[in-house]
Amino acid sequence: MAILQLKSLSKWYGEVIGVSSINATIGPGVTGLLGPNGAGKTTLMRLVTGQIKADTGSVQIDDEPVWNNPRIYTVLGLCPDIESFYDYETGLQFLTFMARLNGLEKTKAVQTAWEALNEVGLTEAAHKRAGAYSKGMKQRLKFAQAILHDPQVLLLDEPMSGLDPLGRHHIVELIQSYGRQGKTVVVSSHILHEVEEMTHQIMLMNHGLLLAEGDVHEIRELIEEQPRKVQIISPQRQQLSNLLVRCEEVQSIAFGEDPEELIVQTRAPDPFYMHLNAIVTEKAIPVRQIITLDDNLQSIFEYLVK
């Protein structure tokens, strides 16, 4: 179990701010790091892995500072967003070399390299030059390198980019299993569906600032200025809307594109759902579907990133 702590962390590049006084505590499990391009995610990853020095604040793993502390690399693994291996080396050679750097002796290093290749499903390409790998294979190799020494803290910068659906699914499952094992995993990704599949814990960044941190649904609860949008599919949407419009917690009702679709906005979900249930059962109005339209990552992203 490792706890990652960011204390008033900032980083500038000249006049440009990369990361702006971020405070956060990231515990075991998977955390999704989200934000538009240029939000500062990669800078944050580099700060956390001690690749660059913070201008203010510090990063600590279990109370040990990350910066200028080689020992930290035994517990830290990084899958960077750029390619970081030689084209002429085979996948196996590269991983064996990395394992040797981690202090393993030759045979053990080779064994560890094979295990990592196996884990990411790259055994068949072990003896191929990395330069001849496809984009997806390179991505897997980077991933293998990150998990090589079985670190407690894993930072993954867009680990699924370029992978086909099988590869993505495979990596998502791997990440989930690391999370269940109690490792601290931070994943940055633009594919919100996949993040939702992996975790409910997110960190949302924009312009170098941390906008929100925590459970997706809890964050949604906190965004009070946005009423809940509920989609109801009913063959009798006219009657249903006539009845719903009388409930005072209903803020607005709109007819959707689908001839049976009704979109209701409310700020008080509890009484609304109680009323809805009562109306449906008492007036016998068939309802086929109820979906909250904005209790998902995409909506939170849109509400918070402006």
Please give the Cα distance from 29 to 9 (Å, whole number): 22
Quick check: 163 binds another protein (CB under 8 A)? yes
Q: Is 37 exposed, middle or buried (0-12, 13-18, 19+ CB in 10 A)?
A: exposed
Q: How far is the CB of 257 from another protein (least distance, A)?
A: 11
Candidates 23-31, 64-72, 82-90, 165-173 — which segment interacts with another protein by CB under 8 A?
165-173
Quick check: 245 binds another protein (CB under 8 A)? no
Torsion, Cα of 211, 212, 217, 218 (10° steps): -130
| Parallel, antiparallel or unpaired: strands 261-266 and 250-255 | antiparallel
Phi, psi of 186 (to 5 degrees): -115, 120
Q: How far is the CB of 152 from another protein (least distance, A)?
A: 26
Closest to 230 in 3D by CA, of 253, 249, 246 = 253
Q: How far is the CB of 200 from another protein (least distance, A)?
A: 7
Map tokens 């290093």 to a residue: 109
Residue selected from 32, 50, 136, 208 as contacting another protein according to rule CB under 8 A: 136
Quick check: 298 binds another protein (CB under 8 A)? yes
Residue selected from 123, 169, 236, 293 as contacting another protein according to rule CB under 8 A: 169
| Nearer to another protein (CB atom), residue 2 or residue 262 | 262
Enumerate residues 174-213 that contact another protein by CB under 8 A: 190-193, 200
Tokens of 70: 């080689």
Q: Are 149 and 102 in contact (CB under 8 A)?
A: yes
Q: What HEC string does 106-159 produce?
A: HHHHHHHHHHHHHHHCCHHHCCCEHHHCCHHHHHHHHHHHHHCCCCCEEEEECC
Candidates 6-14, 128-136, 149-157, 243-251 — which segment interacts with another protein by CB under 8 A?
128-136
Quick check: 132 binds another protein (CB under 8 A)? yes
Quick check: 287 binds another protein (CB under 8 A)? yes
* Residues near another protein, by CB under 8 A: 34-37, 132, 134, 136, 161-169, 190-193, 200, 217, 269-270, 273-274, 276-278, 280-281, 284, 286-292, 298, 301-302, 305
